[in-house]
Amino acid sequence: MDALLQILREKGRATPAELARLTGKTEKEVESALKKYEADRVILGYHAVLDPDKTGHGGVRAVIEVRITPERDGGFDRIAARVARYPEVVSCQLMSGGYDLLITVEGPDLKQVATFVAEKLSTIQGVISTATHFQLKTYKEAGVLFLEDERAERLAISP
């Protein structure tokens, strides 16, 4: 992987100046490389990973297993895209196994998520059934551990 992408994966907030320093490129080169990655949709976004318990805007999250009827043209794609466009839907994936779509939905409270499922999701033509599981606690997300990891001390100098 390009060093630029490797660094960004861990330090999404790095400025072009910082990235230039870290990779030995000029700031201009970094900016144009980033533009190209964004245009080619290699880089899809830059996000902070928040601990909802600490932001004060926790809300609720549910993962929902959705069974849908595939269509003659395009299989699951059209319905999946319809579902995915809702802003409440944080992620949406086609799965193998006992159901078809696994979606993650976020809302301010339990009632609103339930309403979204009952009134919007379930009523889409082609959706056969839904099974909603509310999240109770997050231990890891987007590669970030939510547990306080104890940092082991190293010797200050070793051979």
Partner 1 sequence: MKTPGDFLADHVRAVPRSGIRDFFELVQKRGDVISLGIGEPDSSAPWGVREAAIYALEHGRTGYTSNLGSLKLRREISRYVEKIFGPSYNPETEILVSVGVSEAIDLALRAVLNPGETVIYHEPCYVSYAPSIALAHAKGRAIRTKPENGFRLNPAEVARAADGAKVLLLNFPTNPTGAVLSGPDLDALARICVEKDLLVISDEIYAELTYEGRHASIASRPGMRERTILLHGLSKAFAMTGFRIGYACAPAPLIEAMMKIHQYSILCAPTPSQEAATEALKEADTITEEARNTYRIRRDLLQRRLRDAGLPSIRAEGAFYLFVDIRGTGLSAREFAMGLLEEERVAVVPGEAFGPGGEGFVRCSYATSLDRLEVAADRIQRFMAKRKAGTPAGSVPATR
Q: What does the binding site for partner 1 look like in residue numbers (CB under 8 A)?
A: 1, 3, 6-7, 11, 21-24, 152, 154-159
Closer Cβ to partner 1, 36 or 140, answer by number = 140
How near is the Cβ of 147 to partner 1 at its closest, in Å?
12
Q: Within 13 Å of residue 92, how many CA atoms lie on the same side as its CB?
A: 19
Which two tokens mark 128? 């056969």
How near is the Cβ of 152 to partner 1 at its closest, in Å?
6
Closer Cβ to partner 1, 17 or 110, answer by number = 17
Closer Cβ to partner 1, 22 or 102, answer by number = 22
Which two tokens mark 130? 């839904």
- CA torsion 140→142→148→149, rounded to 10°? 100
